[in-house]
Amino acid sequence: MGATTSPSPDARIARFSRAERWVHRSITVLMIVLIATAAALYFPDISVLVGNRPIVSNIHVIAGFVIPIPLILALASRAFRQDAELLNRFTAQDWKWLRSRDRRSGRIPVGKFNAGQKLNAAFSVGSIIIMLATGSIMFFNSWFPDDIRTGATFVHDWLTLAIVAVVVGHTYKALMDAEARTGMRTGHVSARWAAREHGQWAEKQRLGG
């Protein structure tokens, strides 16, 4: 057998399936709607500009109930399930990557997802579940006693602030990495970028894994 030929640095590597890109875009749109409508409901100055509070409230509620659906539907995709498994698995390299100050230099080869992406995914899914639960308590308020409703409102409001902070950070990181955005938009990334940012995964792709 001949030796395995390394791909050109300008070669493109498949990174995300169509289903995964669809889920990301759907969650992004719904999250923007939820944050925008939450701001309109929470801040009086914005609420005055919007005007029709009941419509804004209904949009917020509908988006909140819909946001888990893309994730559920995506479970039919094998690629999505495989990546979900990878995101749910922390390795020794991930801990090493987190502790390193030059984690983005490529010195520490990581898998398809780095530790930051795994933490972001865990936070996002956990937040969706908690916000759906607390939002449901607030929406079906007559079913629950006052202390449960008060607790749900408290958690919902404060977790919203955490979500906004994480979304801003995630957006900032994305804006700083054009190739990562290209990967999510087209499904492919350059071999050069993959080798630097996700060395273990890039090597596995090179070997046909």
8 Å CB contact between 64 and 132: yes
Identify the weakest region by mean pLDDT among 39-48, 120-129, 172-181, 193-202. 39-48
For residue 22, being part of any structural domain is answered with yes
Tens of pLDDT, residue by residue over 63-105, are 999 999 999 999 999 999 999 999 988 888 888 888 887 777 6
CATH number of the domain bearing residue 135: 1.20.950.20
- How many CB atoms lie under 10 A from the CB of residue 77? 17
From first CA to last CA, the distance across the chain in angstroms is 17
For residue 103, being part of any structural domain is answered with no
* Strand pairing report for 12-14 and 188-190: antiparallel
For residue 2, being part of any structural domain is answered with no
For residue 49, being part of any structural domain is answered with yes
Give how many domains the chain has, as a whole number: 1
Tens of pLDDT, residue by residue over 156-190, are 999 999 999 999 999 998 898 899 899 899 989 99
For residue 7, being part of any structural domain is answered with no
Tens of pLDDT, residue by residue over 113-128, are 988 899 999 999 999 9
For residue 172, give its domain range. 12-89+108-206
Distance, in Å, from the CA atom of 35 to the CA atom of 58, rounded to the nearest integer, reads 14
User: pTM for this structure?
Assistant: 0.83
Per-residue pLDDT at 209: 56
Residue with tokens 């890039």: 202
Q: What is the 3-state secondary structure (H, E, C) of 10-33?
A: CCEEECCCHHHHHHHHHHHHHHHH
